[in-house]
Amino acid sequence: MDFLVVVDMQRDFVDGALGTMEAQAIVPMVTKRIETAKKMGDPILVTLDTHGENYLQTQEGKCLPVMHCIKGTGGWELNDNVAKALVGVAPDKLITLEKPTFGSMQLPTAMQTLMDTFGVPEHIVFVGLCTGICVISNALITKAAFPDIPIAVDAAACACVSPESHYTALNAMRLCQIEIVEANLKHKRGR
């Protein structure tokens, strides 16, 4: 059993306010990962970048002055294909976390809850957006919380603001002993 973490696959990051062609291109790979996890009965955790109307007054908003993922708006919602793929996931195996910044400090607690119920996963696999900001933040938080569980990032199911920043983030995570895999390749078992 693996845990799948789907990071910020929201409309504003796919084809909305901060959308990119690279983000749009990974949607099929992300949905494929979700469908596989659902078929295997693996738990899935979904993060949602969540801001309020005061976003531009926050530290992040001052550095990135683009209104996005405002709770309750269409841009805050999951991409339609991702949302459809999540339909049918057993309610006890699906956790959605709203996060006000890049990394979710609630993610390790949610994972521990799943571990208490279903056991320790063989891998924790990350997919989503944006590789160099929210994916790397959540993967490193998880690595710090669970240093003995192999963490993997599916490179083909992640995208960043540019291909260069995507590869820079993948290399940084590789240095932190996070395995970088492709969706069409089975990741190695063990270390």
Per-residue pLDDT tens over the stretch 118-132: 999 999 999 999 999
Q: Is the pLDDT score of 67 beyond 50? A: yes
**Distance between CA atoms of 62 and 85, rounded to whole angstroms?**
34
Question: What pLDDT, on the 0 to 100 scale, is given for residue 182?
Answer: 75
HSE, side-chain direction, 13 A CA sphere, residue 161:
7
Question: What pLDDT, on the 0 to 100 scale, is given for residue 189?
Answer: 34
Q: Is the pLDDT score of 55 beyond 70? A: yes
- Residue 187 pLDDT grade (very low, low, confident, very high; cuts 50, 70, 90): very low
Query: Do 28 and 80 form a contact (C-beta atoms < 8 A)?
Result: no
**Fold of the domain spanning 2-181:** Rossmann fold (3.40.50)
pTM: 0.95
Per-domain boundaries in the chain: 2-181
pLDDT digit string, tens, across residues 70-121: 999 999 999 999 999 999 999 999 999 999 999 999 999 999 999 999 999 9
